[in-house]
Amino acid sequence: MADTEKEKNLKDSYNDLKNQRESMKSFAMSILGEQEKSIITSAKNAGVEVYFMQIGENNFIYRQILRGEYKKLTLDQARIAAQLSKEAEDEVTARVEMQIRSEEELVLKCLLYPVYDLLSIKELPAGYIQTLNEAIMSVSGFNNEPVMIKL
């Protein structure tokens, strides 16, 4: 295959992906209510990258976590973990409790809509917080495979 044909195929693939993303964005915006759209507009006006996810029939709007926020959250959680280790019956229980708390704290910090607190998230289906946590971590650069190009 000639270089020009490869370049054309790459450009076509890129444009297809770009069009697919625009279609998904249009779909997401079409199913959101005015309150959600207002939250998105406010966040974007403040320079925040905003993401949408639908889990089951529920819409979620979230943002990435910034390095400074992540560092503070991690250090705060380390302090709590030290205290939990002293109070817990065993180390495994303390680690599990800390993992759950870490996920919940990160989601509460980055979830723009709907708004939950530590009590209300306990009423959500079990996997929602873990799924949202993974999505937030992903858009924040965690667990992403870097693309390395030798020049």
Q: What is the pLDDT of residues 102-136, one digit of tens each?
A: 999 999 999 999 999 989 999 999 999 999 999 99
Q: Where are the alpha helices (DSSP H) in 32-142?
A: 34-45, 67-87, 91-110, 127-139
pTM score, whole prediction:
0.80
Of 135, 147, 8, the closest CA to residue 65 belongs to 135
Top pLDDT among 126 and 81 is at 126
Residue 5 pLDDT > 60: yes
Provide the token pair at 57: 């029939």
Top pLDDT among 47 and 146 is at 47
pLDDT for 95 equals 82
Q: Say whether 61 sits in a helix, a strand or coil.
A: strand
Provide the token pair at 127: 């996997």
SS3 content of the chain, % helix, strand, coil (to 5): 65, 10, 25
pLDDT for 1 equals 55
| First-last CA distance in the chain | 22
- DSSP conformational letter for 23: H
Of 74, 78, 81, the closest CA to residue 96 belongs to 81
